[in-house]
Amino acid sequence: MANTAKLLDIFHRARDLVARPENDFDWSSWRDSEDALTEIDGIISRLQANELPSEMSIIFAPTGPMQELALSSGWGNRFLGLATEFDAAISEPG
């Protein structure tokens, strides 16, 4: 089981990064900020309902949409920190 409280915190911080107006979505599978935020908000809603959406792992996967967005937008190091936290929270009892 995963630590849902930590995952919620991680996804809220990820949402803040994805919502930056200067982001470059050219290399991400997300079309734009609205597309990305819709997906992240859906994951947050499901986590709040104590569900563990399987697609949340794809968000933080190597060459996943968030990594591609982070690298093209200049916040790759912040992404790596969040991805490390995500990996820990997903395997931690909550």
Q: Are 26 and 8 in contact (CB under 8 A)?
A: no
Cα separation, 74 vs 88, in Å, equals 24
Cα separation, 54 vs 47, in Å, equals 11
In tens, the pLDDT along 5-55 reads 999 999 999 999 999 999 999 999 999 999 999 999 999 999 999 999 999
In tens, the pLDDT along 54-75 reads 999 999 999 999 999 999 999 9
How would DSSP label each residue in 17-72? HHT-TT---TTSSS-SHHHHHHHHHHHHHHHHTT---TTHHHHTSTTSHHHHHHHH
